[in-house]
Amino acid sequence: MKKALIFETRSGTVEECAHLLKEKIQDIEVINLKKDKPDLSKYDLVVFGGAYYAGMLSGKLKKLIKRNRQALKSKKYAIYVCCISQDDYKEVLIKNLGKELVDNAVAVELFGYQVNPQKTKCFNRFVLKVIKKAFEKENKPLSAIKEDSIDAFAKAINQA
């Protein structure tokens, strides 16, 4: 089974998660959407990784998934997201992709977040600096990647 992990990141969290996930899934090709335009027809199983910005799933990733809506019907695929808001992450995903695409995924998981202003520029850096200040004031962690969610997600993919 040919597998790909396709991700989009602004400040590195989704990429870090991609590498953690790669260690748990055999022979999976990791593709950064900023560098490559993947041809999904080459793969039997595709993992999509993205983050939320202002309530929207990463733009390029969202377009890629929606453009391949038909092709994905005959493929196995899974989606992970990184974001700060925890409880409604699935509803946000449904709002962005539609219920069918979310329901038909082999696995859907929230991997947590990081607040990494130093790893990005311009507007994203500004927003993350504001969040960082607020989090430091409230003693909230600046990095909260959920290793157990990554494990559960990898398990579901390895069993697919």
Ligand X SMILES: Cc1cc2nc3c(=O)[nH]c(=O)nc-3n(C[C@H](O)[C@H](O)[C@H](O)COP(=O)(O)O)c2cc1C
* Residues within the interface to ligand X (CB under 6 A): 9-14, 51-55, 82-85, 113-116, 124, 127-128
Number of H helices and number of E strands within the chain?
A: 7, 8
Nearest Cα to Cα of residue 124 among 56, 63, 54: 54
Question: Which residue, 11 or 96, has its beta carbon nearer to ligand X?
Answer: 11
Q: From CA 132, how far away is CA 89, in angstroms rounded?
A: 21
Residue 70 one-letter amino acid: Q
Comparison of 35 and 159: residue with beta carbon closer to ligand X = 35
Q: Could you tell me if 40 and 77 are in contact, meaning their C-beta atoms sit under 8 angstroms apart? A: no
The least CB distance from residue 122 to ligand X, in Å, is: 10
Smallest distance from ligand X to CB 81, Å: 8
Q: How far is CA 43 from the centre of its chain?
A: 18
Q: How far is the CB of 2 from ligand X (least distance, A)?
A: 25
Which one, 102 or 160, has the nearer CB to ligand X? 102
Q: How far is the CB of 119 from ligand X (least distance, A)?
A: 7
Measured from the CB atom, the residue of 2 and 90 that comes closer to ligand X is 90
Q: Which residue carries 């335009």 as its tokens? A: 37
Nearer to ligand X, 124 or 149 (CB): 124
Residues 6+ apart with CB under 8 A from 73: 104
Which residues are CB-neighbours of 112 under 8 A, at least 6 positions away?
A: 13, 82, 144, 145, 146, 149
CB of 54 to ligand X, least distance (A): 5
